[in-house]
Amino acid sequence: MTYSAFLMFILFLGSCSKTQEENCFIEKDNTIYKEEKPFTAQQILTNKPEYLEVISLKNFRPFKQDSTENENNFQDEKLAEIKWRREKEEYKNFREKFYNQFSCSNKQRIGNTEYCLGKNNLGFWLLKIDNHKADAYFLGLSFSHYYLNKIQTKPIINNGFLELEGSLVKIIQVGGLPGYEDYSAIEDGKLFKIKLDDLIKDSDNDGYNDIFENSFGLNTDNKDTDGDGTDDFNDMNPLFTSEKNKFSELYLQLLPTYATDSDFKKKHYYFEVFKSDCAYFHEINPNEYRVLFSQENQNKQTDYLKVTDVFRFGISKIKKNKNNPKQFFITEWGSSSVTDYSAEYKNDKWVLTMVGGSVI
Ligand SMILES: [Ca+2]
Ligand SMILES: [Ca+2]
Ligand SMILES: [Ca+2]
Ligand SMILES: [Ca+2]
């Protein structure tokens, strides 16, 4: 190695460790809330996924009707109860086969195959039950931009295409209700069309369609994106190799937990997504539910994550206590609360104490 190459190597090492330190630790809080300007219809169409065709309809079920009719149903308690019971029965098969990971609508049967439109915290899916095999295909249509009518007037599968009526929307914040979001249509009467072959394409045959993998930064040509020996479909943390160390344990302990005894290992489509560049956070080994991570820098995020708020929870970087090397501060937040912790490392264990926070 020449001297200059050696120097470069040292500089490279130096910059790496510095970045790692910066990505996980902060001197002081500097979270700035930046409100994103909603996309115009033209911007949504310019940025739409390649595989998606958008057709303007002359006759359609308007956004206002579709979104408010449902609300009115809920106001009548008896009607809501009847509707709920009927849907529970109608979608029993999907609930059972997919372990309650989705809410389901617009069922359709073709031969021995059953389809429905699914939704979970990540977005929209096409669910398919073929004999006893259950598969879910991610649509990659951001719920921040695309509204799919709750009531589809035509069958959703037609001639080898998935066809969904809906509109282009923007999310509007409701005054006085932080965290509560509503939609407003910016262009009504659209038909969203995706070729089934494009939708179900799973190049590496790992169980996740290419659109899902591209949307969340997984490798579409590798069954084992992070190379840790567990294939993407069965990896609880498919983007990163888990490591047990002091700070990964701290992040693991701060993960939100659910009061449920259901078997999350079977829930292959249930993920919590966190925005973090901290390697210690990436190294967690979750056992309750699957995790995905998004880069903090918006320019480095996937097209889907750039515009879709799938982050229901967050855990901050770690703040050191200059006077006590064993004490750290860290903040955890959800949709309606923020909690500040003091974390002390004692006898190989983290002791967390709530030191502040707020409930919205
Ligand atoms: Ca795949
Ligand atoms: Ca893969
Ligand atoms: Ca893996
Ligand atoms: Ca992994």
* Nearest listed ligand to the Cα of residue 222: 2
Ligand 2 center to 311 CA (angstroms): 22
Is the same domain home to 277 and 335? Answer: yes
Per residue in 72-121, pLDDT (tens digit) is 656 678 888 888 898 889 999 999 999 999 999 999 999 999 999 999 99
- What is the model's pLDDT at position 1? 46
Residue 2 forms part of a structural domain: no
* Nearest listed ligand to the Cα of residue 291: 4
Ligand 1 center to 160 CA (angstroms): 21
* Domain final residue pick, 200, 229, 254: 200
- What is the model's pLDDT at position 70? 63
Distance in angstroms between the alpha carbons of the first and the last residue of the chain: 58
- What is the model's pLDDT at position 335? 80
Q: Which of 200-214, 257-271, 275-289 has the lowest mean pLDDT?
A: 257-271
On whether the CB atoms of residues 333 and 313 are closer than 8 A, the answer is: yes
Residue 215 forms part of a structural domain: no
Is the same domain home to 319 and 180? Answer: no
Residue 162 forms part of a structural domain: yes
Q: Is 262 exposed, middle or buried (0-12, 13-18, 19+ CB in 10 A)?
A: middle
Per residue in 25-41, pLDDT (tens digit) is 987 665 555 667 889 99
Q: Is 124 exposed, middle or buried (0-12, 13-18, 19+ CB in 10 A)?
A: buried
Residue 19 forms part of a structural domain: no
Is the same domain home to 291 and 159? Answer: no
Is the same domain home to 62 and 191? Answer: yes
Is the same domain home to 145 and 235? Answer: no
Average pLDDT value over all residues in the chain: 90
Residue 147 forms part of a structural domain: yes
- Please choose, from the candidates 337, 297, 298, the residue with its C-alpha nearest in 3D space to the C-alpha of residue 314: 337
Is the same domain home to 160 and 270? Answer: no
Ligand 4 center to 314 CA (angstroms): 20
Is the same domain home to 55 and 192? Answer: yes
Q: Which of 56-60, 84-88, 255-259 has the lowest mean pLDDT?
A: 255-259
Residue 55 forms part of a structural domain: yes
Residue 110 forms part of a structural domain: yes
Is the same domain home to 170 and 279? Answer: no
* Domain final residue pick, 200, 232, 257: 200
Residue 88 forms part of a structural domain: yes
Torsion sign over Cα 300, 303, 309, 310: negative
Is pLDDT above 60 for 9? no
Gap between the Cα atoms of 43 and 170, Å rounded: 12
Domain count, the chain: 2
* Nearest listed ligand to the Cα of residue 230: 3
Ligand 2 center to 24 CA (angstroms): 27
Given pLDDT bands bounded at 50, 70 and 90, which one contains residue 15? very low
Is the same domain home to 109 and 245? Answer: no
Ligand 3 center to 293 CA (angstroms): 14
Q: Which of 149-153, 261-265, 317-321 has the lowest mean pLDDT?
A: 261-265
* Prediction pTM value: 0.90
Q: Which domain holds residue 231?
A: 221-359
Gap between the Cα atoms of 153 and 106, Å rounded: 9
Ligand 1 center to 309 CA (angstroms): 23
Q: Is 294 exposed, middle or buried (0-12, 13-18, 19+ CB in 10 A)?
A: buried
On whether the CB atoms of residues 138 and 146 are closer than 8 A, the answer is: no
* Nearest listed ligand to the Cα of residue 239: 4
Ligand 2 center to 37 CA (angstroms): 33
- What is the model's pLDDT at position 28? 67
Ligand 2 center to 47 CA (angstroms): 24
* Nearest listed ligand to the Cα of residue 204: 1
Is pLDDT above 70 for 281? yes
Is the same domain home to 59 and 188? Answer: yes
- What is the model's pLDDT at position 77? 83
Ligand 4 center to 227 CA (angstroms): 8
Is the same domain home to 310 and 348? Answer: yes
Ligand 2 center to 58 CA (angstroms): 40
Is the same domain home to 185 and 107? Answer: yes
